[in-house]
Amino acid sequence: MCRGANSPSSRYAVDELLAENWHSYPSKLAFQTRWCRGGKGERKIFYHLLVVLYERYAAVVVDLVQLIPTYGCWKDLLNFLLECKHGNVDYAPLRHKVWNMFALQLKADEEELAAATRQGRSPKLSLAAKYAPSQGGQHSRVLKADKEIYKILFPAFALASSGAASAYRRLRQALAVPEVLMCAKKWAEINFAKVSSLCLDRHKRAFLNEGKDRARNNLDRLACAGSQSEARQKMSLEE
């Protein structure tokens, strides 16, 4: 699959492979297309391929979605569900699997954070909390994802009006998610060794305190810019 391919192209590719009895290859093609470290890193084509595969082998795709955070990221699970909108297809098993994946991982991360706090060590957390749906966001409005995950995490409060955000706010703070620190005006606390390449590219000028939003005399922003420059120099030396 090439960059920019659309849904019909994805459907044609899957049909061709199935016609030649390469039944295991379409799923491999899909994940190689998305693999952000050793594949093409294509999101949209990956979603299209999985949508087509789900129409033919729903149970197989439901089993395979557990691999998505490994080959892509947790946000891919939610974006994939946004593409599942064919009226004559039952997506309930798929949605149920995604909600449970988030709930189980968030619960495991909460337990790990509590254990690490007791033992005085750094927690080993997934990025599920970073990409978990926020109340009022797109995945919340369209999929009701935050409420569905909240129901699984806290079944006794299934009818509560509050969203799932409060359930994983502590995890986002522990992850030191850059966007959270930026909004809290704690730029100097950003650890660039833990910032994703996508985030670095998207907020590059802000991190370096450049452009129209720069703050010339803000010590917090200046410290962040210094840390970013040091991180870039270290990466250059290691390459």
What are the tens digits of pLDDT across the range 22-44?
Answer: 455 567 778 887 876 666 668 88
What are the tens digits of pLDDT across the range 123-179?
Answer: 888 989 989 998 888 998 999 998 899 888 877 655 444 545 565 778 888 887 787
Rounded-to-integer distance, Cα 136 and Cα 139, Å: 8
pLDDT at site 128: 93
Contact 135, 146 (CB under 8 A): yes
DSSP 72: S
pLDDT at site 39: 65
In the block, residue with structure tokens 């706010």: 169
Confidence label for 107 from pLDDT (cuts 50, 70 and 90): very high
Locate the domains of the chain by residue range.
7-72, 88-174, 176-239
Chain mean pLDDT for the chain = 79
Residue 84 has pLDDT above 60, yes or no: yes
pLDDT at site 33: 78
Neighbours of 202 (CB within 10 A): 13
* pTM (global) more than 0.85: no
